[in-house]
Structures are given as structure tokens and as C-alpha cells.
Amino acid sequence: MSATIQTIDTPDGPFTLLADERGRVLASGWTADAGAIRARLAAPPADIAAGETDAADAVHAYYAGDLAAIDAVEVAQTGTPLQLAGWAALRRIPAGAPLSYTEFAAELGRPSAVRAAASICARNAPALFVPCHRVLRGDGTLGGFAWGLPVKRALLDREAAGR
């Protein structure tokens, strides 16, 4: 499988996208380090070339205020049935309406599986498009985020203001 990698500037810093030949985002995050993006995947594509991705337009639109622009971008993820269900559920969390890890576990039909819910967020490779940043600790604090808590806070603030 071949893939395209692209880094764009955002108000939250450089954002790198890795998309397959069909344009589906495999991995993304707030870094200019292509290796950090590849490392988010268990089996990254062997053939990766720099280029432009259609998904970059959605990122620009998101940062311009169209918070729903990321919703239509296709992603490709591999994982367990629970992980796949979790990543699909993350895409249904509306911008500006974050859930707690406990609420997210309940959305998965596994209310006692809070650690599994947190793990699903931690293993999410196409950040922003699968908005794991919309899940918080039970006390409302940020919890973890692969790309740093300042980015998570900025995303949540942007989404709260744009609602």
C-alpha cells in the first residue's frame, strides 16, 4: 500500500497527515515529525511519499470555524471489534459536547470498562478526525492526549466557542 504524508500549519502548531491511496487518513497529529506519525501505526505503509492530501482541506476548514468539516473525512483503522466500535463512537461525539471516560464507556455498552475506553482513545491514530480529544476525566479535567494537553485544551476551547 502506498501513502501520502503532508504537514500543514495550524494555530496549534504543525499538523501532519498520513493518508492511503484512497485518501483515507491512517494517522495524524500535531507534529512535523513524520516518524512520530508512522509510529502511531502497528504496520505503517512501506511506500510513503510527501504530497498533498484532500484531508488537509478539512483541517483548514475546521480551524477556520467549520467544526464539522472533519466529520466527512474517511479514516482507516485496524483493531479489535471493541476498538473499532470505540473509534466509531468517538466520531459521533459532537464538537463542544465532550464526554467523560465513564460516559464514553457507557456509550460503548460497557459502563464498567472505563480503562478500555481510555485505551481506545490512547490508541487512536487519526487524531482530530476521530476526536479522542473530546473525552475527559470524570472530574472534567483533561486527562491524557498524545499530542499534549495544551493542544487538547485549545481544541476543546475552539469547539466550545464554535457551538
Which residues form the catalytic set?
132
Exposure on the CB side of residue 113, measured as CA atoms within 13 A: 15
Is residue 11 within 8 Å of residue 60, measured between CB atoms?
Answer: no
- Alpha carbons 22 and 4: distance in angstroms, whole number: 10
Which distant-in-sequence residues (6+ apart) come within 8 Å of 112 by Cβ? Answer: 105
